[in-house]
Amino acid sequence: MPSAQIIELESSAAFLPGEGALRRRPRAPGRKRPEAFWAAFEDRALVYDCFRSADGSEIVLACPPPCTLLPQWEAARFTARPSGKPLTPRLHISRSTMTATLTGAPEGTTGVTLTFEGQNFDLPVRPNLAEAFAGRRVMFTMNKDNDLAWIALWADWHAKLHGVDAIVVFDNASTRYAPSDIETTLAAIPGMKTVAVPSWPYRYGPVDPAVLFHPYWANFLQVASFRTTVSRLAPKAQGILNCDIDELVGGPDAFAALAGSPDGLVMLKGTWVETAIAPEDARHAYHLRYRYRHKNRLKSICANKWLIDPQRPWAQDPAFTPMMHRIYGLSKSTSRRAPALPFFHFQAINTNWKEERNMTQAHDAGGHTRLRNLDEQVERYLAGSESI
C-alpha cells in the first residue's frame, strides 16, 4: 500500500483574454520565425502561480517575463482582498521568468486583484507548503506523457541511490493518463514520503530559431515552476534536485555532497547516453539497458544540472533565477567551487516531443564507448532492487 503523503496543489493563473489585441511579443519581434514558433509561444499568460512566502511577509507571483508587456506591468495595480488595501509590488525580471513580490497585505488576505491595462484579474492566494516538505530530499521536474514505467524507475533510482523522499512532478497536460496516475506511481516507491503532481496545462513554449544564443529562452512555463518549487513548496527542504525523467544522477549520495558544500550547491555534469544496446544489456528495462556514449567525448557532453540547499539566503532571493541548466544570480566562482557529480542523460527515454532521438540502434564498437561509471551505478542500483 502506498505510504506517501499526497499533497493537493492548486495554483492561481491569469491570462489575457483570447479576443483582445494586447499580447506579449518575443525578443527581437521583427525577426522571421516559422509558424510552429508562433503556435507554441506564450503570448497571453500573466501569472502562473500566486502564493504566500514561507515567512508570510509577502505574496509571491510566479510569472513569465513581461517582454513587450513591461510598460503595462509597471503601471499595474495590486489590491488585497477582501480588505481593498493597495499592495506594493517589486518586479524581479530575468530572460525567461518574472517573480513579483507584494508587500503590505493585511492579515486575512485571501486574494489579490491585479489591475492590468484596465482589466481586473482575481488571484486566490495559495498557501505556502514549506512544512509539508521540510527536511525532505526533494526532486522535481515537468512531465508530459512520459511512460509511467519510466517515471517509476527514475523515482526508484534516486530514492535508492540518493535518499530522495519527496517528488514534485508538474504535469503539462498529459493525455495518456491523469495526474492521479502519476501520484499513485510515485507513492508506491519504497521510502517515498511526500508527493505532489500539480497540473499546469499551459503552453510550454518553443525553441526560438531567431535567437542564436539562448534559443530556449521562451520555455517560460518550466522556469516559472522552479520559483513555485523553491519558494512555495520546498524552501525548508534539505535539498532540491532538478532532474528530468530521462536523467539519472550518479553517486555517491548527492545530498551528502550538498551537506558538505561550502555554498549549498552541487553541480551535476552530464553525459549523453546513446540509444545503442549491447545484447547482454537487453534483459534490463528502460534506462538501464543503455550503457554507451558517443566515441567523440565532445559529442557526449550535455548541459549541467544542479542540486541546491534552499535554506541558504541566496536561494530565496528573488534575484536568484534557476534555469534548466544554469543558475543565474550566482557568481561563476560559486559554481566552480561547488562539488560535482555525474548524471546520465538518456536519448532513448524520450517521447520525441522536441526531436527524433529515441530510435534504438545496435551497439557499434567503432562509434561508441562503454560507460563504465554508469555500469557501476547500475550495479549499485540493482543490488538494492528487485529484478528490473
Same domain, 107 and 187: no
Domain end, chosen from 67, 92, 124, is at 124
Q: 61-85, pLDDT tens digit by residue?
A: 999 999 999 999 999 999 999 999 9
Same domain, 296 and 197: yes
**How many domains is the chain built from?**
2
Average pLDDT over residues 15-30: 94
The amino acid occupying position 299 is K
pLDDT at position 334 is 87
Same domain, 89 and 167: no
Same domain, 161 and 58: no
- In this structure, is residue 110 part of a structural domain? yes
- In this structure, is residue 22 part of a structural domain? no
Domain end, chosen from 124, 156, 190, is at 124
Question: How far, in Å, CA of 362 to CA of 39, rounded?
Answer: 37
Same domain, 185 and 93: no
pLDDT at residue 235 tops 50: yes
pLDDT at position 353 is 44
pLDDT at position 330 is 81
pLDDT at position 71 is 97
Q: 151-190, pLDDT tens digit by residue?
A: 999 999 999 999 999 999 999 999 999 999 999 999 999 9
Q: Look over the chain and give the mean of its residue pLDDT values, rounded to a whole number.
A: 93
pLDDT at position 192 is 98
Q: 278: phi > 0 → left, psi -120 to 50 → alpha, else beta; which?
A: beta
Under 8 Å between Cβ of 242 and 306 = yes
Same domain, 326 and 291: yes
Question: How far, in Å, CA of 199 to CA of 37, rounded?
Answer: 23
Under 8 Å between Cβ of 272 and 355 = no
- In this structure, is residue 5 part of a structural domain? no
Nearest alpha carbon to residue 343 among 245, 251, 219: 251
pLDDT at residue 135 tops 60: yes
- In this structure, is residue 388 part of a structural domain? no
Q: 270-329, pLDDT tens digit by residue?
A: 999 999 999 999 999 999 999 999 999 899 999 999 999 999 999 988 888 888 888 887
CATH (domain of 300): 3.90.550
Same domain, 205 and 140: yes
- In this structure, is residue 47 part of a structural domain? yes
Same domain, 108 and 142: no
pLDDT at position 367 is 86
Q: 119-129, pLDDT tens digit by residue?
A: 999 999 999 99
Under 8 Å between Cβ of 223 and 96 = yes
Domain end, chosen from 100, 124, 148, is at 124
pLDDT at position 1 is 52
Residue that wins the pLDDT comparison between 15 and 319: 15
pLDDT at position 365 is 64
Same domain, 110 and 191: no
The x, y and z cell numbers of residue 207, run together, are: 525553441
Structure letter (DSSP) for residue 29: T
Question: How far, in Å, CA of 159 to CA of 137, rounded?
Answer: 9
pLDDT at residue 47 tops 80: yes
Residue that wins the pLDDT comparison between 1 and 94: 94
Where do the DSSP E strands lie in 289-347? Answer: 292-294, 301-308, 321-322, 327-328, 340-346
pLDDT at position 360 is 55
pLDDT at residue 387 tops 50: no
pLDDT at residue 357 tops 50: no
pTM across the whole model? 0.94
The x, y and z cell numbers of residue 193, run together, are: 514520503
What does the buried/exposed string (b/e) look like for 119-135 if buried means 16 or more CB atoms within 10 Å of the residue's CB?
Answer: eebebebbebbbebbbe
- The number of C-alpha atoms within 13 Å of 364 and in the hemisphere containing its C-beta is 10
Owning domain of residue 108: 10-17+34-124
- In this structure, is residue 215 part of a structural domain? yes
Same domain, 68 and 114: yes
Which residues are bridge partners to 248 per DSSP?
Answer: 344
Same domain, 257 and 287: yes
Task: Decide the pairing of beta strands 88-93 and 98-103.
Answer: antiparallel
Same domain, 182 and 53: no
